[in-house]
Structure 1
Amino acid sequence: MHRFEVRVYYEDTDMAGIVYYANYLRFIERARSDWVREAGIDQLAMKVQGLVFAVRRVEADYLLPAVFDDQLEVQTTISQMTPARMIMAQKVWRGDALLFQADVTIVCIGAGGKPARLPAELRLLPVTPPT
């Protein structure tokens, strides 16, 4: 499991003083980018080879609000993997409270936006099926 810390800043909140719903997607994107880097995958080198990651689908549940100055933790695991796509389970926690969770389907695309196989080193990473 990958862990990524996020502090809620004033700019992340809406008029009600809670985290604006779309910002959770930014938080989990940052966590995925950090996870990819820590997994040793060089996205710039991939791009030179004509391959990039793309989000194909997001299924999200907003459970509890986060507010200004909260310290959050995004936890990321791979829940499913095929040669062409992976589903990442991402959860945003404040201490012991689960605030947000999403299943994000990631694909790899090549020249002209055509589907491509995920990098081999990525396909070797552990999968943690949902419980």
Structure 2
Amino acid sequence: MDVRIYYEDTDAAGVVYHASYLKFFERARTEYFRERGLGVAELATAGFVFPVIRMEIDFKASALHDELLSIITRPERIGGASFVVRQQAVRPSDGRVLVEAQVTLACISPERRARRLPDEVKRVLEEGVTQGQ
């Protein structure tokens, strides 16, 4: 998923504010599932919600106002009621990885109780692990 950096994403120096990457990564996870036929809103309606329960982020270099970034999402591990994805913000103009995160998400019910991953989500994640995407 590509993201254009707007003024609202930056700090006073025109550098992307660190918390903006959380929004970019959230959107990219949603688009990852959408591109594979799964809508996050539809899954929530069906009783499956996926909150982030852990995130490790490495900030390697800065992005600036008006730059284009590619946000890459790759599943890494799948558990019974959780999964881990690796996400990267890459500057396509030079291929440099600017930010990298390992994100753990849980599968819960609307009542906030752990649930097993639905089969269709597990299948999409397993295909991503196998294919490296």
TM-score, scaled to structure 1 = 0.90
| 1:68 and 2:65 aligned | yes
Q: Going by fraction, where is strand more abundant, 1 or 2?
A: 1
| 1:101 and 2:100 aligned | yes
Residues of 1 paired with 2:38 and 2:104: CA distance?
A: 18
**Aligned partners of 1:54 and 1:108 also within 8 Å:** yes
Amino acid at match of 1:102: A
Question: Which stretches of structure 1, 4 residues or more, deviate above 3 A after TM superposition?
Answer: none
Match of 1:10 in 2: 7
Q: Tell which deviates more after alignment, 53-62 or 37-46.
A: 37-46
Residues of 1 paired with 2:26 and 2:45: CA distance?
A: 21
Structure 1 residue 50: Cα displacement: 2.2
**Aligned partners of 2:49 and 2:110 also within 8 Å:** no
| 1:114 and 2:110 aligned | no
DSSP 3-state at the match of 1:45: helix
TM-score, scaled to structure 2 = 0.89
**Aligned partners of 1:80 and 1:128 also within 8 Å:** no
DSSP 3-state at the match of 2:65: coil
Q: Tell which deviates more after alignment, 116-125 or 65-74.
A: 116-125
Q: How many residues align?
A: 127
Q: Mind listing any 5+ residue stretches in structure 1 that lack a counterpart?
A: none
| 1:18-57 matched pairs, under 5 angstroms | 18-57=15-54
